[in-house]
Every structure is written in C-alpha cells, then in structure tokens.
Amino acid sequence: MFLLFFILFFLLDSRFTQQELPACKPMLTTGWVISIFMAVGVLFIPLGACALNSSKKVVEIVDQYETVCIPSAGTKEARVQYIQDISTAKACTRQLLVTKNMAQPIYVYYELHNFFQNHRRYVKSRSDQQLLYGNASESSMANCDPQRLLAGKPIVPCGLIAWSLFNDTYSFKLNSVALAINRKGIAWDSDRKDKFGGSVYPSNFPNNYPAATNGSIIGGASLDPNTPLNANEDLIVWMRTAALPVFRKLWGKIERDLYAGDLITVDINNVYNVYSFHGKKKLVLATTSWLGGKNHFLGIAYLVVGGLSIAMAMVFVGIQIKCPRPLGDPSYLSWNKNKGRDLNTSPATGVHFEVCETFMFLEVKVLCS
Amino acid sequence: MAEIKEDEEDARPPRISRDSSNKEKNSGRCVYINEGDRYPDLYCNNRVSNTKYNLWNFLPKNLWEQFGRFMNKYFLLIAILQLWPLITPVNPASTWGPLLLIFSVSACKEAWDDYNRYKLDKQANERMVWVVKKGVKTRIQAQDIHVGDIVWLREKDEVPCDMILLGSSDPQGVCYIETSTIDGETDLKTRVVPSPCIGLNSELLHKIKGIIECGYPDRDIRRFDANLRLFPPFIDTDYFPITVNNTLLQSCFIRNTEWACGVAVYTGNETKLGMSRGLPSPKLTAVDAMIDKLTGAIFVFQVVVVIILGFAGNAWKSTEADKLWYVHYPKAAPWYEFIVIPLRFELLCSIMIPISIKVSLDLAKSMYAKFIDWDLHMYDEKTDTPAVATNTAISEDLGQIEYILTDKTGTLTENLMVFKKCCIKGSCYGDSTRDAVKDPALLRALNENDPEVLKFLTVMAVCNTVVPSRSPNGSISYKAQSQDEEALVSAASHLRVVLLNKAANCVEVSVLGAVLEFDILDVLEFTSDRKKMSVIVRERQTGELKLLTKGADEAIFSSVHNDQQVRRVAEIVDQYSQMGLRTLCLAWRDIREEEYHDWSRKFKEASSSIVDREWKIAEVCVLMERNLELLGATAIEDKLQDGVAETIESLRDAGINFWMLTGDKQLTAAQIALSCNFVLPEPQGQLLYVQGATQSDVGASLERVLRTMQISSTEHKYQDVAFVIDGLALEFALKYYRQLFAELASLCRTAICCRVTPSQKAQLVHLVKSWEFRTLAIGDGGNDVRMIQEAHVGVGISGREGLQAARAADYSLAKFRFLKRLILVHGRYSYNRSAFLSQYSIYKSLVLCFIQIFFSFVSGISGTSLFNSFSLMAYNVLYTSVPVMASVLDKDIDEKTVLQHPQILKYCQAGRLLNPSTFAGWFGRALFHGAVVFLITMHVYVNEKSEMEEVSLVALSGCIWLQAFVVALETSSFTTIQHIAIGGNLVAFYIFNLVASTVKWGGMYTIMFRICSQRAYWLTMLLIVGAGIGPIAALKFFRFFYRPSLINILQYRERRARVTEANATSSSNAASATSSGSTSSSQRAAQDEESSSVYQPLLLSTKDRTKRQ
C-alpha cells in the first residue's frame, strides 16, 4: 500500500522511471567497519554492566515447598492420593529468613515448574466472550471442552484454565506478627475493566461441587458464586497464561520494608496438585529493579555481545596490520588476471570463476603467512 | 454475358446429396457462391470469439487454471486444513484472507482482460456489412455472414472474414489491401480478381453462382489453395486455381479501391487469423525454475519437520501429557488422534512457503518490464520507437543469456539497401567512390544505347513485385515487400529505365523516354528453396515472349545455358560478397510461342493442384528456367547499424556466444561478421568453413574443422575461432552428424550459418537450447518469427521489414545496439533483484517458522502457535512486504560500471546469486535469526514476565527489527524510497500494533502499550539486533575485504571513484605522472592508478583489440 502510494508519486519523476534516483551508497572501508564494531562494543559493555548490576541488587527469597509440605515418604501415587484427598488438612508452615534489606513494595509470587500453561489444549480452553458477558455463543465456547458443560448447563467460567486455577493459600507473619498482604491490584487494570465482566458471576462451576465430579479428577480452586469475575484477581492473573513451563504469578504485595534478619513465617495451605507430573511449587518474595525482577541474562548477554564485538574489531585491526589488502585492485579482476587463458575455455564460465576465487583466497593466505 | 433468368438460377446449382457432403469431409470444403443461407449449420457463422471464458464457466474454469500450479494447490490444501478447529493453530481467516485476495485479484485481472476481448469481439461482430441475400444487397451484422455469402466492401472497410475476391471497382480487377493487422507489414499489397470473374459488373455479381473447392481451414496466411468454377451462364470453364493473391483475409483493410466484393469461404474462428490466434505457452525463466526447485526443497524440509515433530509430539503426549491433569486428555481418543499433532505442525510450518513470494515476484517482474518500457536510453528518436517488454515475466532471463542467435539483414544492418555496383556482360560499374548509377562509364553506355545495358536495366525494372504509385505531383514512388527489389527499381529509374505503371497483368516501362508495354503472362514467384524469381512477359509492340529472371548466383549459374562462360561473373560476384555486398544475378531468355504454350498448361495444372502445390510448381518452373542468358550481377549495400560492433564486442566480453543465422551468401556473411566483431581478424581469429554438397563431404569437412579447432584450442594459436556453415551442409550436419556438430559448436564461441531457412533457424535455436544454454534470438523479419518464438528470450527489431518479428517477440527494440543495455543493465538488475527478493521472502518466513518450531519444544510439542492469527497474517502481508519491494530499485553497481565491465554478467549467467548454496546461506541465516530471537526473548521474558501475548509480540518485533537491518545490509544503494520503506516500515509496524492494542475485544489489547513502556523491551530489541546482525555483518565485511567477489571489487572502485571525484582533482595531476601498472598489488600503486583515471577501462583486451571498420 505504502509502496504503491510512493510509486504513484514517483511515477511523475523521470528520475524514478529512468532508475536514476539519487542514491546514497555507503562506502565500506576497514576503518568504518572497525569503528562500527568498536562502537557497538563500547555501547553494549556499559549497558550490560548496568543491567547486571541492577539485576544483582534485586533481593529474592525463594522457598520450594511442594516436597517438604507433604508426608515425606511415599511414591508418586501416594502423594497424588494424599493431595487429592479432600478430607485431610494440608496446612504447612515455612520459615523464611530475610538475608538482605528489601525495600517496598515486595512482591509475593507463587512459582510453578513443569506446568504447561502453553499447551495447545490448555491455552485455547477459554471463552473471552463468556468472561466478559456471562453468556457466550456456542462457537466461542467450543474450545472450552471438556470443561464446557456440567449437567447439561454451561460452566461459567468455562474451560481448562479457569478449572485448574491455582488454589494454594498463604498467610504471612513477620516475627510472629501478622504481616498484611495486599491482594488487590495484582491483576492488570485493563483485564479487570475490559476483559472480565463485573456482572458475571461463577455458576455451575465444577470445583464448587467436588461431589458432582464422581471422584474423577478434581480441578483447582473453587469460585465464590457471589463474587463477580472481575473482582477475582487471582483468576484474572491465572488466566494470563504463561509462555514457558516455568512461571511466576503474582499473589500479593507486601507494602512495607523488610530488613536483614527478619524472620517470616508462612502458613501454607498446600492443596494444589503438582505431584502428578513432578511439578515444583515455590513461594517467592522479591523486589524489582528498573528492568523488572532478578534476571542476569540481559546483563550477561550484553557483556558477551559487546565483548565479541570488540574482539571482532580487534581481529579486523589485526588482519589489516598484518596483511593489508588493496581494495578494488583491478588486478584482482579475474578477466585481467587470466586474460588469454579464458578465451578458449568452454562457455561454461561458472567453473572458471570458482577456480579464480579459490586462487584469490589462497593468495590472501599466502600473503598473510 | 447472357442475362440470367430466375428459373435457370434455381435449377442450376446441383443439389448436395448426402454423399457429396461426406466427400467434403475428406477433401476440404465446397463453397457454393451466393448460397449462404442454404446450409447454415454446415459451417459456423462469422461470430468471432476470442474470449477464454463466458459468464457461466468463468469461476470454475478460472479456479481450475489457478489451481493448476503447485503452489496454489499447496495454499488451498493448507487453507482447507485450517478449517478444522482441532488442528488449526490460528484463525483460518489468516490464510483465507490473503489467499482469497490473491485469487480474486488474479481472477479479476483475467476477467478484465477477457471482458476487453469480449468488447472488441462484440464490436467486430456487430459491425454492419453489405451482403447479398436472395439477390438483394442487404445490410447485416458481420456475425451473420455465412460461408457462401457475397460480401461487399468499400474503401477503408475492414474485411470481416476470409473471402475470395470476385469483383472490384478496378476494371483490371485489382484491389489493394493493407495487411498490417495480420503480418505487420504496412505496404499495400495487390490482390486480383480471378480471371473468370474479371469484368463482371455489380449487377451480375449479385447473381453469380459457382462452386469453390478449398481445403480445411488452416493458419498459414501465405498459402491459399483452392479452385473456382463458375456455373453457366457465366464462363463455364474448367476449375480456375485460386491463390492467396485472390483472397481477402479477415481483418485486412481495403485501400485505394472504391469497392470490392467477394465470397466468404472461412468465417468466424475458422479464418486464417482465427486459427492462428491463441495464447503462446508462457515461458518459464531459469530463476523461476530455480525458485520452484528451492520451494520444493523447502516443502520436503517441511514434511520432514512435520513428521519428526509429529512423532515427538505423539510420544510426548502418550508419556507425559497424560500426567498433566489440567490438560485433561479424554480417556478414549478418536481414531484420527494420531494424525492431529502432525497436522497441527503442518499448519504451523505452512508459512515456510509464503503466499507473498509469488505476489511480490509478480509485482517486481512487472516493475522490471515497466523500467524497460520507460528507459529513454533505449528509445529511438528517429523512428519514435521505445523499447517494449511484451512479455513482462521473463526479465531475469535476460541476465542469464549465454547464446545470442541473430539474424543479419535488418538486425545487424540497417536494411536500407543502396544499389552500389553492377557487372554487365563482364564490365564492372561503380567503385568505392561512386555508386554505379553515377558511374560515367555506365551513363556513357546508356547514352550509346548499349543493348546489353538496356536488357539488364529492363530486367531490373520488370522482374519484381514492386508497385509503383504516382503521387498527384507526378513523381513515382515504389512500394515493395523486399528492400532489394525497391533498390533495384529505383536504381533503374535513375538510369532512365522507369517503371511507370503496373496493372494486373500489364507493366509500363519508359526506356530512355520511350514507353514500352509488357503483358505479364506468369509470375514464377520467389521461394526460399528456388532462390530465384522469374516473370514471363510478352512485349506488346513486338509480341516477343521473354523470361526475365533474377536470383542468387548459384541458383542462376546452374540454369545458365551451357556454352556461356560464368567464370568471370562468378569471380566478380565473389569480389562483391567479400566487400559485404548483397549480390543478385540477372538473366533472361527468349521463349518460343509453342514452348510457352506447352509449359503454360503444365504450370496451370500445377498451380491448381491442392496438394503439394508449391513443390509441383517448383518442378514446373525448372522446366522454364533453363538455358538462361546471364546478363550480369548487381551488388547492393546494406549498411551496418550504429554501434553494432561495440554492442557485440561488449556482449562477447560478457561471455555471451554469438551465432549469426542469415539467408545471405557465405562471403557476405563472413565479411559482415568480421566488420561487426564476431571474430577477430586473421592473426588472432580464424574462420573455419564447413562445406560440402554431399553427406560424406560434409562429414569429412566437419571432422577436419573439429580437429583444427581442438588443436588450436590446446595450442592457443588463435584467440578466436569460428566456423562457417551453409544451409545445405547444415542440413546434412543436423541430420547425420548431430554429435559431431554439437561437439564443434561447444568448442566455438561463434558460428556463422548462412543460406539458412526460417525453419533451420528455429532448429538451430532448438539445438542450442537442448544443450541447456539460455538462448536469445533476435531478428526483424517474418522469417525470424519461428526462431524468436523458439528461443528462451525473443527480441524483435521493429525495423523496415514490418512489425511481424516485433509482435511475436518478448521484447521489441528499435535498434540492435539497445540489446547491450537490455541485457547488461536490465537483465542483470532484474536477475539480481529477483534473486534477492525470492530468497529473502523465503528467509523471512523461515525465521518466523523456526521460532514456532523452537517454541513447540517448550510447549509440550503440542503445536501451540506463539504468534496470534493477526500477527501471522500481517507479518508477510504488511510488516515485511514493503521494504523488500523497495529492492526493485536497488543497484549493486552503477549502470556505467556494468557497461564498462560487461564481464560481470558472468555472475548472473552462472546463476551465482540464486542457487542451492546461496539459498543454504539464507536458510542458515533464518535458523540463526530464529534462534537468536527465540532464545533472547525466552530468557529475558521469564518468571512473572512470561505472559503469552507479551512474549509473542516481543518475539515478533524482534523479527521485524532484524528484517529491517537485514534488508539494509543487503541493499547497496539507498534512494529516498528505500529509506522510507525500511524506516517507515518499522514505524508503521509500531503504529499498527499500537492501534491493534486499543481494540478491546482483541487478544492484543494493551499489550503493545505495555511492552513499549518497559525498558527491558527496548534493551531486548537492541540485543537481538546486535546479536543477530553482528555475526552476519562481520562475515559480510570479511568477505568484502578479504575475499571480495568481482562485484565487490567493482563496487569498491566505483565508490572510491566517486569520493575522489568529489575531492579536489588537483592531486590527480601529480599522480598521473607515475605509470599506472595495473598488475601491481601494492596498495599505493593501486591508489595511484585509482586517482589517475577514474573510469579507465580495466579490460586490457579492449586495448589490444584493433578496431576494424
């Protein structure tokens, strides 16, 4: 479209029709190339250092609890049976020691491993229309199977994602004093306003009737039928599916500073099943930097690319000093070099060219050695 | 002529029984004159239809045609698979949208073309014509004409169907027509009323009855074999032979004739024109073939990927996915379960072959064609002819031409004939300073009424097919189909033997002021087999019968009577040929009355035969054309066109081999070949002649030449060897010594084939094609049409011999010298650009595809698409199509540099920019870039940032950033358009996605705003560009500096030259003092040379070569 517009515009210009538009042809010299690589290196290394530094300043407390919060012995089957048994209480207490000062806000995440929210069956299993309006067309709900209907009536919210909502809960104590966690504002505002309906209430939701599932697989959290969907921020956060099988989801915020030596006690209600698939559950308390959470990758990658770039520049400098090569030397034009020989060769010119180029390359090597 | 009574008329025509209609089927058709309505269903009516479709079959037929191509079938299959919601990764609209768009665009184009054809047809069909119906002249639509109807035409009317002329306003029965719509020739041609009908007045013509036997409709516009028999009371004679001279063919125009009428014999789509219509099969360029091959390879790769991932996916599903309770696989799987995951991957990988590649290539190709049309350097001001690319699809092939097969007359030469010299009875007239017409010796002889000279000039003036036309002021101008004939007649008129007038069978010639009248009894027409033409005339005053003949020397010498010495004339003819002149010999003889009588009968018989007429006539002609008295020879000069020698030299330097195919004599051809740089003159070059009149002679000669050639190629004795072969020897060589000939031809860069017929020309083209070389045929006349159509690229010169060749050709040029620019500039750029465009198009889709494949490994090999439907659709159509299209303006090196170093074309010829290994480079780059984008995105966007929509858009924008830099890196010259396209595209991407992010119900709602506000996002982009482009740039620069291709060297020189040009020129004076040793490899010396002469030709061989005239 754009091009058509410009062509129409330029059609009037004879320089266009004659292919004589003024053109800028950047001239490559070794000097230029060396400077470009140097410049990239000079730009990347400080950026990398900066990013790495800020990532290192982020304080993170990670506590993996899925194995410790379960009777230690037992096979996988036993664990699964334990977690699926509704009757047993699954409370679990963990103590976290703050090693460094943490400035507010401190984010509380749960982290799941080996959980494929990006699985094709899973990621599509939702109805955006239903989430916003409550009732949805058949076609929009088609992807919700097998969590579309319960007893012949549509499930609200339907689909595997909502059904498998994470339902471990945490309560925090700081040095034996209850620590307030702000559980509001953890979901995106845009989702709460425009993606999830304020007048859509969960209904017919299978997790609310564990008996109705006939003892088959039990999903995740139950939903309060009196809370509209857009008020259930845990659900909204969960419905933003993760792109990787390892992910963190925001659970709340601690709106006060924590200091080194502080002891945090967490009472965990460990009910979410990750034992079927050898998943991991972690509780994370973390601060952020201007780049987000703790992630050294960006900084290291910048340092590596910057370093390689400077190394490349050095290589070019080295070659240039050791083996200066005249650019655009006409004697390298093969038809001058092999004059007389090629006139009687066969018309198959390709072969001749190959020979020529190999020859040229060898020459460079000889000159350099 | 007796009056006809009504009852007689009804009774006369014989009834057609069932038998006779069966007989018709066997021998052609019988047309009953003036009986058009009698059997309306036997032959089709005159409704012309050129349309390919009608309203009902358009959709199915068009779709069927479009799905004939592999790529389209593939796209359709993918689109149909996407309708299955279980497997489609994206909304089916993302494929159906572009697919429908593309299909409807090309369907609309077809429909529009067809509609235009329909309108033209309708116009022709509904034109009103006068037709005799039941003896009354009525005005009907042209489409209602039936075979047998008598059609009346006025001056300037278009002939509505193929007719046989029955009457004209001219008392002699002559009618003039213009046939430019059929054969492109603009001169007037004469058509004559068959002699039984001459003199019929218009009243009788209303009532005329008779029968015409003619063959089945065919497409040969130069032949028309039929017989006419009128019923009594009209002359009830034998069958009268009808030739093409008695016909008016469809879509000719009546000129200079008040009215004419004829009987319709072929109507509608059965006319000569209708039969020869039809679209030529589309030509496929080498680039297209290579792209098809690469696409096939990609398809195979895709299938392999799908199979591997499908297996892996099914395996993962059966072992791991069952444990993922939240995925909730049903216990009982349907039977087709195993195929679901492979099909999902098939769809995920389907963008590997992008729909956009075809669209952008087609668009680019039409741009190349437009650039050719627009090019003012290929515009001939004198004749106001621009270059025209009729075939818009094959510009890339121009850059890959390896063989050029060229016609001589009119192509290399001007086809402007000048009568230079002649030889009459052993004395030669005309020398290097003066033409023969100004030679005082000849003028003296003329004044002395030398009978030999007068005979000679009379033959010149009479024995031809020239039509004199007198303008109002009394001057006579000549219109001829053959330039040679025109030159001869004009020369004769300068020597006061003036052709005054030519009616049907009477010629008036003023010989030194006295008017002589000749009755033309028979014309023995020129054919390329006989190589001569004759007329039999009776001088009115004396009643003497004479045969006047002119023709090629060997054709005449063989029929000269025995006791005459032809040696002297033969020597002179050889001399003339060596000067590059075209020679003709003239002869005549007296005929006795009874001899003529005998012969005339045989001739008539032969001319009225329907089968093998031409051959039979030739046989009869031999009987008459014998015992000739040789009068002498004429020599006509045909000047070389401007710039022919330079053009051929550059193109030969570019590695293109030239073959000259001409109808001329061996010596003339060799002379022209030397003067236009086909071969180097003696010390460096050598011409080897393949001769012989019998099979064994030719064989021996071929072997000898081959041996010489092999020796000289091993010893480097000559720089240049060419072989010369004539038509006869060629026929033997092609028939019996094909292998030997092929060997010879492969050793020789140049060949000269003389005395070849049009079909031999086409045969030679076919032969060279069969050795897998890209061929270009260039010619100007009707005899070159077959060769032009046969070659990969046909170029027509719109010259004096009409537009026939130009119409049949893919490209038409005004002058031969434009060929250099067409090939070196347009061909080369087109090839380079298409090579980039096609590989880049696949590359960019592959990048996206690799990311999808990598993503499948972290999403449980379940076939999840990382990108949403909208992004997938927009990626090829919107985000990446514009910058790549701007590459149709890219120039790797300047036109000037290319023209100076034509050798650089060898890069294109050898297909060095588009082949499996370059493509492997692009494939590797796609893999690398896919990995870079995927790994960086997935490592930066981890933990709490790992949100599908965000990650998807980050990866997508990473690709877009890379694309911008890749295009910039591969572009050599940046015009404003490129700047806008590359930069603007990037900006447009963000605007587009920001707009899409405001749509509340869309999946991308707020995403773009969100990521744009993250610092990490911009750092990611920078990192992707740095990590993705760095290694590629380093590799490119390394090659450029330390292993430069020839293109790189020229690029560098050219750019440095521009810089030095811009700087002060003062330093160059000092530097020019030092000698510029071009072999020096030190930088300093090279720099000196640089500054001393900016555009000094690098080609040493050009300096060595002495230019010959």
Q: Which of A229, A260, A287 is the last residue of a domain?
A: A287
Q: Is residue B343 part of a domain?
A: no
Percent of chain B scoring above 90 in pLDDT? 15
Same domain? B861 vs B795: no
Q: Give the DSSP letter string of B331-397.
A: SSPPTTHHHHHHHHHHHHTGGGS-THHHHHHHHHHHHHHHHHHH-GGG-BTTTTB--EES-TT-GGG
* Per-residue pLDDT at A52: 94
Among A38, A250, A276, A333, the residue to mutate for chain B (most B Cβ within 10 A): A333
More confident residue, B803 or B27: B803
How many C-beta atoms lie closer than 10 Å to residue A328's C-beta? 21
Residues β-bridged to residue B177: B189, B254
Torsion of CA B349, B355, B361, B363, to 10 degrees: -150
Report chain A residues whose CB lies below 8 A from the CB of B829. 19
Q: Do the domain assignments include residue B986?
A: yes
**Candidates A2, A32, A117, A303, partner chain B, best to mutate (most B CBs within 10 A):** A2
Instruction: Specify the pLDDT at position B22.
Output: 39
**Does B533 lie in the same domain as B650?**
no
The pLDDT, as a whole number, for residue B486 is 84
Nearest chain A Cα distance for residue B1027, angstroms: 6
Digit-coded pLDDT (tens) for A214-235: 555 677 888 888 889 888 899 9
* Higher per-residue confidence, A238 vs B192: A238
Regarding whether B954 and B916 lie in a shared domain, the answer is yes
Q: Encode pLDDT of B46-88 as tens digits.
A: 887 777 777 888 888 888 877 777 777 888 888 888 888 777 7
Query: Would the pLDDT of A61 be above 70?
Result: yes
Neighbours of B1000 (CB within 10 A): 11
Q: Greater confidence, B455 or B117? A: B455
Structure tokens at B549: 């003949």
Residues across chain B: 1109
pLDDT of residue A332: 57
Is B755 a known ligand-binding residue?
yes
Tell me what the mean pLDDT of segment B1073-1084 comes to. Answer: 38
Confirm or reject contact between A298 and chain B (CB < 8 A): yes
Contact A350 B1099 (CB under 8 A): no
Q: Residue B941's pLDDT is what?
A: 92
* Residue range of the domain that includes A33: 29-57+295-322
Q: B1079: nearest CA in chain A?
A: A331
- B693 pLDDT more than 80: no
Choose among B926, B923, B924, B950: nearest CA to B938.
B950
**Most trustworthy range by pLDDT among A200-209, B82-91, B218-227, B936-945:** B936-945
Which is more confidently placed, B889 or B117? B889
A25 vs B1034: CB contact, 8 Å cut-off? no
Model confidence band, residue B280 (pLDDT cutoffs 50, 70, 90):
low
Q: Tell me if A142 and B85 make a contact (CB, 8 A cut-off).
A: yes
Answer whether the bond into residue A26 is a cis peptide, omega within 30°: no
pLDDT bin (cut points 50, 70, 90) of residue B1063 is: low
Residue B4 has pLDDT above 80, yes or no: no
- The ipTM assigned to this model is 0.89
- Which of A301, A357, A360 has its CB closest to that of B936? A301
pLDDT value of position A345: 37
Q: Tell me what pLDDT residue B799 has.
A: 67
With b for 16 or more beta-carbon neighbours within 10 A and e for fewer, the B518-549 pattern comes to: bebbbbbbbeeebbbbbbbbbeeeeeebbbbb
Q: Are residues A168 and A242 in the same domain?
A: yes
- Whether A190 and A318 map to the same domain: the answer is no
Position B714 scores a pLDDT of: 73
Of B977, B1003, B1086, nearest to A21 by CB-CB distance is B977
Q: What is the pLDDT of residue A343?
A: 36
- A217 & A360 share domain: no
Q: Quick one: A177 and A282 in the same domain?
A: yes
Mean pLDDT, range A309-332, rounded to an integer: 77
Least confident of A342-346, B201-205, B234-238, B252-256: A342-346
pLDDT at B8 over 50: no
B973 and B1006 both lie in a single domain = yes
Domain span including residue B948? 356-370+825-1046
Mean pLDDT confidence for A253-271: 91
The per-residue pLDDT for B1068 is 44
Helix (H, G, I), strand (E, B) or coil at B798: coil
Number of domains present in the structure of chain B: 4
Answer whether residue B151 shows pLDDT above 80.
yes
Write the residue in B903, B1016, B1086 that is nearest to A292 by C-beta: B1016
Tell me: pLDDT of B1093 over 50.
no
Residue A18 lies in a domain: no
Q: What is the mean pLDDT of chain B?
A: 81
Strands B750-754 and B657-661: parallel
d(CA B520, CA B526): 16
Residue A174 phi, psi (nearest 5): -100, 115
Which residues pair with residue A268 across a beta bridge? Answer: A92, A170
Q: Are B974 and A25 inside 8 Å of each other by CB?
A: yes
Q: Are B930 and B867 a contacting pair, CB within 8 Å?
A: no
Least confident of A235-249, B327-341, B818-832, B938-952: B327-341
Q: A229 and A90 in one domain?
A: yes
Residue B351 placed within a domain:
no
Point out the residue among B326, B906, B1078 whose CB comes nearest to the CB of A330.
Answer: B1078
- Give CA separation, B888 vs A115, B673, B836, B1003, in Å: 48, 37, 9, 36
Could A340 and B719 be called an inter-chain contact, meaning their C-beta atoms sit closer than 8 Å?
Answer: yes
Q: What is the dihedral of CA A192, A196, A200, A201, to 10 degrees?
A: -70
How far does the CA of residue A341 sit from the closest CA of chain B (Å)?
Answer: 8
SS3 category, B827 = helix
Together in a domain, B718 and B860: no
Nearest chain B CA: its distance from A332 CA (Å): 8
Q: Tens digits of per-residue pLDDT, A148-206? A: 887 788 888 888 999 899 989 999 998 888 888 999 889 998 888 888 888 889 888 88
Q: Which residue has the higher pLDDT, B228 or B1075?
A: B228
Domain-embedded: residue A22:
no
Which of B1046, B1077, B1099 terminates a domain? The answer is: B1046
Q: Is the pLDDT of residue B1105 over 50?
A: no
Closest-CA distance of chain A to residue B1032, Å: 12
B106 close to B90: Cβ distance less than 8 angstroms: no
Exactly one of B149, B157, B183, B407 is catalytic; which is it? B407
In the predicted structure, residue B25 carries a pLDDT above the cut 60: no
Strand order in the sheet with B388-389: B388-389, B811-813, B793-797, B775-779, B403-406, B657-661, B750-754, B720-726, B685-690
* Backbone φ/ψ region at A352: left (φ over 0), alpha (ψ -120 to 50), beta: alpha
For chain A, what percentages of helix, strand and coil (3-state, to nearest 5) are there? 40, 15, 40
A20 within some domain: no
B237 three-class SS:
coil
For residues B42 and B291, the model is more confident at B291
B783 assigned binding-site residue: yes
Vertex B439: Cα angle to B438 and B445 (nearest 5): 115
Judgement on whether residues B542 and B663 belong to the same structural domain of the protein? no
A24 found inside a domain = no
**B582 among annotated binding-site residues:** yes
* Number of separate domains in chain A: 3
For range B567-584, the mean pLDDT? 83
- Annotate B1004-1064 with three-state secondary structure: CCCHHHHHHCCHHHHHHHHHHHHHHHHHHHHHHHHHHHHCCCHHHHHHHHHHHHHHHHHCC
A23 within domain boundaries: no
Choice among B305-314, B498-507, B814-823 with the minimum mean pLDDT: B498-507
Q: Dihedral angle at the C-alpha atoms of B390, B392, B393, B399, nearest 10 degrees?
A: 90
% residues pLDDT > 70 (chain B) = 88
A7 — pLDDT class (breaks 50, 70, 90): low
Task: Give the integer Cα–Cα distance in Å for B830 and B622.
Answer: 54
B863 near B313, Cβ under 8 Å? yes
Residue that is last in its domain, among B781, B800, B819: B819
Contact between B679 and B672 (Cβ < 8 Å): no
pTM above 0.90, yes or no: no
Are residues A281 and A111 in contact, defined by beta-carbon separation less than 8 angstroms? yes
Q: Tell me if B175 sits within 8 A of B197, measured CB to CB.
A: no
Q: Indicate whether B1069 pLDDT > 80.
A: no
- Of B938, B1022, B933, B940, nearest to A298 (Cα)? B940
Cβ–Cβ of A292/B1044 closer than 8 Å?
Answer: no
Reported as a pLDDT band with limits 50, 70 and 90, residue B936 is very high
Q: Per mean pLDDT, which of B611-615, B616-620, B698-702, B990-994 is the most reliable?
A: B990-994
Tokens 């003066």, located at residue: B434
CA B740, B746, B752 angle in degrees (round to 5)? 85
Determine the pLDDT at residue B663: 77
Residue B288 known to be catalytic: no
Max Cα distance, chain B (Å): 121
